[in-house]
A = this chain, B = another copy of it.
Amino acid sequence: MPSSYNLTDLTTLLDAQLLGDGECIISGIGDAATATAGQITFISNKKYLPQLDTSAASAVLLAAPLDNCAVVNQLIVADPYLAYAKLTLIFDNRPKTPALIHPAAVVDPSAKLGEGVRIAAGCVVEAGAEVGDHTELCAGAVVGPNAKLGQHCLLHANATIAHHCVLGNRVKVHSGTTVGSDGFGYAPSRDEGWVKIHQLGRVVIGDDVEVGANCAIDRGAIKDTIIADGVIIDNLVHIAHNVTIGKRTAIAGCVGIAGSTEVGAGCTMGGFVAINGHLKIADNVHFNGGTVVTKSIAEAGHYASGSPMQDVRSWRRNMVRLSQLDEWVGRIKKLEDQQ
């Protein structure tokens, strides 16, 4: 892609309406407050409108024309935040891996590579694996035996896809992440200790999924672990064996979901949400960060757990009382009886 565009071009690319100078050249995106000349900015929330008064941006994405605005070039769009997202693709600066198999990559002769596949140095594609058209593997990525990647996928450096796992199209996996590690399954034996249950299932990921850095998604024990289309997952997320995640669910960093839990579609989880195993979470359930989920949830809604942050002294005093709470409730009841 070119590194700069004039506003007429951007107007077309974003399906916008242009107020101002179509010849103005834009070479990047900036925050309203810190953008420099030649950059375009956006306002997705009215409370940030005052930032435009002093903005040096050469153009702005807005939901409606703004009179007397310091930024005279305005691109009017239905959803400025969505238009900004599309703009980031236009100005994406990530250097792509060249469209060839680097001589220092190792591709097993039995692997099948699609057209336009990009494989960087240090990658390993094992026997029987399939890599779809235009998929890109950055340095050190490993595609295990018989794994299958769709088209236009992107494995960042040092990502690992284990044997037999399946990625749909346009799946992105960030560095350090493991797709297809063994689930944590053992049979206890007095004589032999924990006897490993070899994990025979796969991880099957749909289309348009993104998995952040240093996540671990376990393969199923017998059946598969399933991540549906459009799911987005942040960093350091643990998804155990046989979990299923419904379409377009969004999972923030440091979340852990224990085995066999079924999460619905359209859910959101803040950071550090911890979900027990064998639960069923309905569609459109939203968890605050840090929620510990120990029961199934049948109804859409917002849920939370966790205790409030305080200065250490107040917190200690309150926590002593919390550890006696049932007793204090008993004393309230006794007082009530005495009325």
Q: Which A residues lie at the B interface, using CB under 8 A?
A: 28-31, 34, 79, 81-82, 84-86, 88-89, 91-95, 102, 104, 106, 120-124, 126-128, 138-140, 142, 144-146, 156-158, 160, 162-164, 172, 174-178, 181-182, 184-189, 193-200, 208, 210, 212-216, 218, 221-223, 229-230, 232, 234-236, 238, 240, 247-248, 250, 252-254, 256, 258, 271-272, 274, 276, 288-295, 301-312, 314-326, 328-329, 331-332, 335-336, 338-339
- Chain B residues whose CB sits within 8 angstroms of the CB of A91 once the complex forms: 198, 200
A139 to B92, CA, bound (A): 30
- Chain B residues whose CB sits within 8 angstroms of the CB of A163 once the complex forms: 93-95
A300, chain B: closest CB distance, angstroms: 11
Pairwise interchain contact A308-B319, C-beta atoms closer than 8 A: yes
Q: Say which residue of B140, B271, B306, B308 sits within 8 Å of A258 (CB atoms).
A: B271
Pairwise interchain contact B311-A301, C-beta atoms closer than 8 A: yes
Q: Say which residue of B186, B254, B294 sits within 8 Å of A232 (CB atoms).
A: B186
Given contacts A122-B142, A310-B304, A329-B328, contact A253 B184 (CB under 8 A): yes
Pairwise interchain contact A306-B303, C-beta atoms closer than 8 A: no
A124, chain B: closest CB distance, angstroms: 4
Q: Given contacts A84-B187, A174-B182, A184-B212, list 16 more A-B pairs with CB under 8 A.
A: A79-B187, A81-B187, A85-B185, A85-B187, A85-B195, A88-B199, A95-B145, A124-B139, A124-B157, A186-B232, A212-B216, A216-B236, A272-B274, A274-B289, A321-B326, A325-B325
Given contacts A181-B213, A215-B214, A236-B236, contact A256 B271 (CB under 8 A): yes
A170 to B275, CA, bound (A): 31
Pairwise interchain contact B332-A306, C-beta atoms closer than 8 A: no
Pairwise interchain contact B238-A253, C-beta atoms closer than 8 A: yes
A289 to B272, CA, bound (A): 13
- Chain B residues whose CB sits within 8 angstroms of the CB of A142 once the complex forms: 122, 138-140, 157-158, 175
A175, chain B: closest CB distance, angstroms: 4
A176 to B178, CA, bound (A): 7
Pairwise interchain contact B89-A198, C-beta atoms closer than 8 A: yes
A120, chain B: closest CB distance, angstroms: 7
Residue of B nearest to A333 (CB): B331
Pairwise interchain contact A174-B184, C-beta atoms closer than 8 A: no
Among the interface residues A164, A188, A234, which one has the most CB atoms of the partner chain B within 10 A? A234
Q: Say which residue of B146, B184, B328 sits within 8 Å of A234 (CB atoms).
A: B184
Pairwise interchain contact A258-B253, C-beta atoms closer than 8 A: yes
User: 13 A–B contact pairs at CB < 8 A?
Assistant: A30-B222, A82-B187, A85-B197, A94-B198, A104-B124, A142-B158, A175-B216, A176-B177, A194-B248, A272-B272, A302-B311, A305-B315, A320-B326
